[in-house]
């Protein structure tokens, strides 16, 4: 070969060598030769790194995935989607209900309205054998105990907004002379209790109670404002649902400290501490008190009806001894920090957590890996795998190549499946076992409604109509997705299937924008009041599908005259600097959708502050009312009705352009199986079977990778 030809081909040869070097990964056999313990390691690949390893503080999927292995919860859902005990062995749900004696009301058939006479009337009705009013009798039969609480005097300090035109509040002292109150302990929560008791005591007995007669303030408020405060201080009726958890004895944290009820109470207190800026406060705001009855019993009382209450306790429990105020002060002093400003968010434990879950944290190298070791003292028995290695591999092609080589153990999952164009090929590959289903998630474009012009729903609707979502599903997802129109899981009856998706109609979009005042200028750009329609669309890097949607949306909006800039941000920067601080115009993101609905955190107007989840700033009074009804409704049929009405409202307002629900496919090596040891001491291997929601990792602690594929996987 001549010198000239060498010079011509040298750059190409260098590129080929570099590409081979870049994409080379050791094969499974090469790994096992160099590491005989490779079968003991489960290696998972994620497109993004965790942000904070503390279940009170985090709200992103990568963090939650690791936290679920390090921390344990009081309860979770079993394979049939029923709640089962974890750190709790069992629980009771009942109710304490109260109403104030109303001396101004006339009670049918009762000459005197003294408290004991009212109690006697209720008890007599409870024993009435005629039972002519079935609904009333059901409520009466549900009363386990009833007693009179005597009148009491107390003071209460409250912050009150005196002027409608300002957010400024004034600290006011209220003096209260409360009348006697009737307390009822119920066997179960009865949301119709006071409606039904109204048939016995009189339909206006509760509505005619005037709390303002018993309340005075040190600052004149006026009748209307005083009445509003009195309704909160002395509510005529009060529902107080109660959950009493019985805890598992002998459970250890990874440092050997014994878990108990004080850790449960501390986790709640950490959530509610405003210094910690927990995104989960909304889930626990309805809690009135958390009391330790004994080291293995904790009693949670709620301020009001709150139907999602039990499910909120499926979050990880923190170790009090490592994160309480005394521990944080010591840590601050040790690292020369100001103890007065040092919070849980500053603690080293957000990157070096201690829990009581099946795996012990060992190491975290940012944007590289997180390593966990098996916890041999785990209360349910140690997992079969000795190590869990969470590798950050943003590039999906690299993930695929590493899976083929055996350097990672799975490819795809319900929250981040196999790239759609590969699905059919890999589903038919005999080397792997595969799992698939409709995801409990959706992808959307969200608009920051604090910023113009996104505060106008016509603009949001127009932007949505300018994007051909069906083409995204067909060409980007290879039909591995389906349209969605709202925030509930499509597999549930809470989702309103009557809502039609936005029609792709760029001309109609332009008409809507013209109604708002946007018109094309001589250069073809939309313009209003001399300003060009211009904004930035952002999403996270490491996700090729979102990157494709970014380009498609940019082009679609450009076609109707909107100048859109785009930006791809590393995951932690995207979440912590842009999403958490609501510093964006428009973004592409996704949500997982829980089986049981609770739209409060993402959609209620009180959740629009920094580090909260309504980061698009959606505020709607009617939506707030429906959200509260959904949270307080214990009747499934009525809850479905409220959810579907809420879905309809969201579809009308378009705070998001709802894009699609992805279908997911995940594959595993066929050598990964469930290992169980029977009562006879014999080891048996079983196929991995997904739950009703497609969760094939439900029995992960029993997984093991064998040197060779077991025979049963070749059967049939």
Supply the pLDDT for residue 695: 84
For 60-85, what is the mean pLDDT? 92
Residue-wise pLDDT for 546-588, tens only, equals 999 999 999 999 999 999 999 999 988 999 999 999 999 999 9
For 364-391, what is the mean pLDDT? 96
Distance CA 56, CA 267 (A): 8
Residue-wise pLDDT for 393-402, tens only, equals 988 888 888 9
Please give the angle made by the CA atoms of 554, 400 and 468, to the nearest 5 degrees: 25
Residue ranges of the domains in the chain?
Answer: 75-92+242-317, 98-238, 441-664, 670-716
Distance CA 633, CA 631 (A): 6
Distance CA 352, CA 696 (A): 28
For 663-680, what is the mean pLDDT? 88
If pLDDT is split at 50, 70 and 90, which confidence band does 712 have? low
Assigned CATH topology for domain 75-92+242-317:
Dipeptide-binding Protein; domain 1 (3.90.76)
Residue-wise pLDDT for 11-22, tens only, equals 444 443 344 444
Residue 498 CB neighbours (<10 A) = 10
- DSSP 8-state code for residue 40: G
If pLDDT is split at 50, 70 and 90, which confidence band does 415 have? low
Statement: 441-664 belongs to CATH 3.40.50.720: no
Residue-wise pLDDT for 549-559, tens only, equals 999 999 999 99
Beta bridge partners of 592: 441
Distance CA 64, CA 66 (A): 5
Supply the pLDDT for residue 416: 60
Three-class secondary structure assignment of 499-538? CCCCCCCHHHHHHHHHHHCCEECCCCCEEECCEECEEEEE
pLDDT over threshold 50, residue 169: yes
Lowest mean pLDDT among 46-55, 531-540, 685-694: 685-694
pLDDT over threshold 50, residue 274: yes
For the chain, percent of residues with pLDDT exceeding 90: 70
Supply the pLDDT for residue 272: 96
If pLDDT is split at 50, 70 and 90, which confidence band does 81 have? confident
Residue-wise pLDDT for 37-72, tens only, equals 789 999 999 988 999 999 999 988 899 999 999 999
Lowest mean pLDDT among 70-79, 419-428, 517-526: 419-428
Q: Are 315 and 19 in contact (CB under 8 A)?
A: no
pLDDT over threshold 80, residue 465: yes
pLDDT over threshold 70, residue 189: yes
Q: What integer best gives the mean pLDDT of the chain?
A: 90
Supply the pLDDT for residue 35: 58
Q: For residue 132, what are its two tokens?
A: 């002519």
User: Could you tell me how far CA 529 lies from the centroid of its own chain?
Assistant: 41
Supply the pLDDT for residue 11: 44
């Amino acid at each position: 070969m001549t010198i000239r030809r060498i010079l011509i081909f040298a750059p190409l040869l260098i590129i080929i060598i570099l590409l081979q070097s870049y994409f080379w990964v050791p094969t499974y056999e090469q790994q096992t030769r160099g590491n005989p313990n490779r079968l003991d390691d489960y290696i998972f690949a994620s497109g993004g790194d965790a942000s904070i390893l503390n279940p009170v503080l985090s709200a992103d999927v990568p963090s939650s995935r690791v936290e679920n292995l390090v921390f344990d919860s009081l309860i979770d859902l079993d394979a049939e989607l029923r709640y089962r005990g974890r750190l709790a062995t069992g629980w009771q749900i009942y109710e304490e209900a109260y109403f104030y004696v109303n001396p101004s009301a006339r009670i049918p058939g009762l000459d005197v309205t003294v408290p004991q006479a009212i109690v006697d009337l209720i008890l007599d009705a409870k024993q009435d054998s005629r039972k002519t009013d079935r609904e009333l009798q059901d409520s009466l039969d549900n009363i386990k105990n009833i007693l009179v609480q005597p009148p009491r005097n107390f003071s209460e300090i409250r912050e009150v907004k005196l002027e409608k035109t300002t957010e400024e509040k004034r600290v006011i002292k209220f003096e209260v002379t409360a009348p006697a109150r009737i307390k009822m302990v119920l066997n179960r929560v009865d949301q119709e209790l006071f409606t039904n008791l109204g048939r016995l005591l009189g339909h206006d007995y509760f509505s005619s109670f005037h709390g303002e007669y018993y309340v005075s303030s040190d600052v004149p408020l006026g009748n209307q404002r005083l009445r509003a405060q009195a309704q909160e201080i002395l509510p005529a009726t009060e529902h107080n649902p109660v959950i009493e958890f019985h805890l598992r004895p002998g459970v250890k944290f990874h440092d050997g400290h014994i878990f108990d009820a004080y850790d449960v109470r501390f986790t709640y207190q950490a959530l509610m501490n405003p210094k910690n800026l927990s995104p989960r406060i909304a889930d626990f705001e309805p809690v009135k008190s958390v009391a330790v009855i004994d080291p293995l019993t904790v009693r949670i009382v709620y301020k009001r009806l709150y139907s999602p209450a039990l499910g909120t306790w499926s979050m990880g429990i923190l170790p009090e001894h490592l994160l309480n105020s005394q521990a944080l002060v010591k840590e601050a002093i040790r690292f020369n920090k100001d103890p007065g400003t040092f919070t849980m968010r500053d603690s080293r434990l957000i990157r070096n957590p201690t829990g009581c879950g099946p795996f012990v944290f060992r190491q975290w190298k940012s944007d590289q890996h997180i390593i966990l070791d098996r916890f041999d003292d785990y209360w349910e028995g140690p997992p079969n795998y000795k190590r869990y290695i969470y590798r950050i591999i943003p590039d999906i092609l690299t993930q695929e190549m590493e899976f083929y080589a055996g350097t990672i153990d799975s490819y795809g999952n319900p929250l981040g499946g196999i790239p759609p164009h590969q699905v059919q090929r890999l589903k038919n590959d005999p080397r792997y076992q595969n799992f698939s289903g409709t995801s409990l998630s959706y992808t959307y474009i969200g608009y920051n409604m604090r910023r113009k012009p996104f505060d106008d729903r016509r603009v949001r609707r127009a932007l949505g109509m300018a994007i051909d979502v069906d083409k995204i599903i067909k060409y980007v997802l290879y039909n591995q997705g389906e349209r969605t129109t709202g925030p509930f899981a499509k597999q549930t009856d809470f989702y309103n299937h009557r809502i039609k998706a936005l029609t792709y109609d760029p001309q109609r979009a332009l008409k809507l924008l013209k109604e708002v005042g946007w018109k094309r200028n001589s250069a073809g750009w939309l313009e209003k009041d001399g300003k060009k329609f211009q904004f930035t669309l952002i999403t996270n890097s490491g996700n090729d599908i979102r990157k494709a949607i970014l380009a498609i949306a940019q082009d679609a909006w450009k076609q109707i005259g909107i100048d859109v800039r785009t930006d791809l941000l590393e995951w932690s920067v995207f979440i912590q600097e842009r999403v958490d601080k609501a510093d964006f115009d428009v973004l592409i993101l996704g949500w997982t959708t829980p089986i049981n609905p609770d739209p409060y955190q993402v959609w209620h107007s009180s959740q629009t502050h920094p580090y909260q989840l309504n980061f698009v700033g959606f505020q709607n009074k009617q939506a707030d009312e429906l959200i509260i009804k959904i949270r307080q409704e214990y009747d499934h049929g009525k809850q479905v009705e409220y959810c579907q009405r809420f879905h309809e409202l969201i579809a009308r307002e378009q705070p998001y352009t709802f894009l699609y629900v992805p279908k997911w496919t995940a594959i595993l090596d066929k050598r990964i199986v469930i290992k169980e040891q029977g009562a006879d001491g014999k080891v048996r291997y079983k196929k991995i079977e997904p739950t009703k929601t497609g969760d094939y990792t439900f029995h992960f602690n029993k997984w093991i990778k064998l040197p060779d594929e077991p025979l049963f996987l070749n059967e049939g």
